[in-house]
Amino acid sequence: MDVSADRSPVMQVRGPRNRILGSALFSPESQITLRMVARDERPIDEAFWRERLATAIRYRDTLEIDATAFRLIHGEADLLPSLIVDRYGDYLVVQALSHGMDQLMPTIVPLLVELTGAKGILARNDPKVRLLEGLEQKVEVLHGEVPDTIQVREGAIEFEVDPRHGQKTGLFLDQRENREAAGRYANGALLDCFSYNGGFALALAAHCQTVEALDISADAVARITKNAAANGIANLTAREVNVFDELRHLEREGARYDTIVLDPPAFAKNKASVAKAMAGYKEINLRALRLLVPGGFLVTCSCSYNVDEAMFAEAIYEASVDAHTAVTVVEKRMQGRDHPVLLGVPETYYLKSFILRKVA
Ligand code: SAH
């Protein structure tokens, strides 16, 4: 493999006998030097990027998404490596997570404006992975104006999003379809663990008698409460607690729930932390299964891509054995369709979600 010497963000890649293999984004400082964008000799010009972006956006148009916030571009899976674009109403929040893509933004941003009519584009270029690319972490407006808060709708629920400071690009958009799916089963007393701004709790409140939302962050709890009031939801309370401690506490108190959601942060951020992560998943699933009534539903998720689906299923199975329960899988799910998985790139399949029923 030869890489020509100039510093263009896109390089022609040649293989043995100088055969052209295609074109790639170039990262001089990263361990991932090249990210392929084409496997032929076509020119990588503005028209090329317009078509790539337009194809990704057209695909979202076909999904009939019942929300004003969703992912427009999901990096590798849209053949736009290291580019994330999320739509929040009239605004876009973007992330350029490689050196090559960062360099390309002066081309990409006007195309996004042309294709989406966005009033403003914010770069949330604060993820740590940018450091591995020799890029700085920064948040800046790249086009128009972006307000401090943006009002969006997901299904029947209105959210106020803080695009500059919210987690990820503001919301956990990847769970939207799982919240919808959970609505088919949620009933009675609901416990939403790791609630953030109440994504599951608010979506499921109409199906349930009572809703308790738990998060360790005081900010999150304040947002859940505010969102509940703004949506006229009166059967929800939010508590600032550590879920690990609270599940134990609820068990001691003899609490029982008909529906429990477990949507923790990634416990395994790297390979070294997999064993600890597996123990964590087993622990919270075991406690949740004990708190569920027979016939109750558990929506359990893992967004650690270092813990694959089989490993996650194993942790849940072990939890069910220790809890002396029989559990059936009602639905096996993943991130929403606006976050597609590219076969051959396992990192693009990161969110696993099972809807389980405690049979006995
Ligand atoms: N369920 C949310 C997303 C959850 S993100 C949604 O659908 O939008 C994970 C959340 O877990 C974060 O808000 C974080 O503050 C919280 N968290 C992390 N560790 C925690 C702990 N030990 N106990 C309670 N909450 C925790």
Which CATH number is 147's domain given? 3.30.750.80
Span from the CA of 263 to the centroid of ligand 1 (angstroms): 7
Query: In 10 A of CB 16, how many CB atoms?
Result: 8
Tokens representing 292 are: 């569920």
In a domain, 353, yes or no: yes
In a domain, 133, yes or no: yes
| Ligand 1 atom with least separation from CA of 197 | 8
CA distance 234 to 28: 54
CA distance 193 to 246: 10
In a domain, 160, yes or no: no
Element (H, E) at 129: helix 129-132
In a domain, 104, yes or no: yes
Instruction: Looking at the structure, tell me whether residues 25 and 108 fall in a common domain.
Output: no
CA-nearest residue, atom 3 of ligand 1 = 196
Instruction: Looking at the structure, tell me whether residues 205 and 237 fall in a common domain.
Output: yes
CA distance 217 to 205: 21
Instruction: Looking at the structure, tell me whether residues 210 and 318 fall in a common domain.
Output: yes
Q: Are the C-beta atoms of residues 211 and 205 closer than 8 Å to each other?
A: yes
Residue 57 φ/ψ, nearest 5 degrees: -70, -40
Instruction: Looking at the structure, tell me whether residues 50 and 111 fall in a common domain.
Output: yes
| Cβ–ligand 1 contact at 297 (below 6 Å) | no
Query: In 10 A of CB 144, how many CB atoms?
Result: 14
Instruction: Looking at the structure, tell me whether residues 118 and 265 fall in a common domain.
Output: no
**Mean pLDDT of all residues in the chain?**
96
| Ligand 1 atom with least separation from CA of 196 | 13
Instruction: Looking at the structure, tell me whether residues 181 and 146 fall in a common domain.
Output: no
Q: Are the C-beta atoms of residues 315 and 282 closer than 8 Å to each other?
A: yes
Question: What's the pLDDT at 5?
Answer: 45
Instruction: Looking at the structure, tell me whether residues 118 and 187 fall in a common domain.
Output: no
Active-site option among 193, 208, 301, 303: 303
| Cβ–ligand 1 contact at 267 (below 6 Å) | no
Q: Is the pLDDT of residue 302 over 90?
A: yes
In a domain, 157, yes or no: no
Instruction: Looking at the structure, tell me whether residues 86 and 229 fall in a common domain.
Output: no
Instruction: Looking at the structure, tell me whether residues 231 and 103 fall in a common domain.
Output: no
The SS3 call for residue 245 is helix
Instruction: Looking at the structure, tell me whether residues 186 and 273 fall in a common domain.
Output: yes
Task: List Cα–Cα distances, 64 to 7, 124, 247, in angstroms.
Answer: 41, 26, 37
Domain count, the chain: 3
Span from the CA of 130 to the centroid of ligand 1 (angstroms): 23
- The DSSP output letter for 102 is H
Task: List Cα–Cα distances, 110 to 25, 63, 66, 104, in angstroms.
Answer: 19, 25, 27, 11
Span from the CA of 266 to the centroid of ligand 1 (angstroms): 10
Residue 303 annotated in active site: yes
Residue 19: which domain range? 2-38
Instruction: Looking at the structure, tell me whether residues 58 and 197 fall in a common domain.
Output: no
pLDDT digits (tens, 9 = 90+) for 309-349: 999 999 999 999 999 999 999 999 999 999 999 999 888 89
| pLDDT band at residue 6 using 50, 70 and 90 as cut-offs | low
CA-nearest residue, atom 15 of ligand 1 = 217
Q: What CATH number does residue 240 fall under? A: 3.40.50.150
| Cβ–ligand 1 contact at 28 (below 6 Å) | no
Question: What's the pLDDT at 161?
Answer: 95
